[in-house]
Amino acid sequence: MSAYEQDPAGPDAALTALDRLVGAWRVTGGAEGTVVYRWMEGRYFLLQDVDLVQDGKRVVGLEVIGRERAFGAERPGEDIRSRFYDSLGNTFDYVYELAGDTLTIWAGEKGSPARYTGVFSADGTTVTGPWTYPGGGGYDSTMVRAG
């Protein structure tokens, strides 16, 4: 398969399960504001638009979430990875995993001690959980569906 051919099987089930995130969310807790998730055409990449205030600073950013497929690779990578770009010049890498109603987002690599672990409510309108950082840092975060 060339670098510009679409996988005939389409996006896999683990990636399409993130469809639960699509839409606008109001975020409260250690960061306050809004995030909006939307699929890029083809549904191989989920985009997150971020507009938050954290530690007194406004952070506007874009996250691209999906499976990496390096130039020349026949298949995408095993993990669902993302890269976040923000208005302060930062880039952060994450690994996403959705198991049942639990969404885990590891900072850097899967299994990292820096992570978010959120649980969807039964009706899918809220996701609540902590951001945990090594050394005891972190904060609670709640996302409530806004649209």
What is the structure's pLDDT at 46? 98
pLDDT in tens, 3-27: 555 565 678 999 999 999 999 999 9
Tokens of 89: 């010049």
**Buried b / exposed e along 8-32 (16+ C-beta atoms within 10 A):** eeebeeebebbeebeeebebeeebe
Q: Which of 60, 66, 54 is nearest to 137 (CA)?
A: 54
What is the structure's pLDDT at 5? 56
CA neighbours closer than 13 Å in the CB half-sphere of residue 7: 13
Q: Which residues pair with 104 in a beta bridge?
A: 97, 117
Question: 14 phi and psi, to 5 degrees?
Answer: -65, -35
CA neighbours closer than 13 Å in the CB half-sphere of residue 145: 12
What is the structure's pLDDT at 145? 98
pLDDT in tens, 50-68: 999 999 999 999 999 999 9
The whole model's pTM is what? Answer: 0.92
What is the structure's pLDDT at 11? 86
Residue 2 has pLDDT above 90, yes or no: no
- Mean pLDDT value of segment 71-75: 87
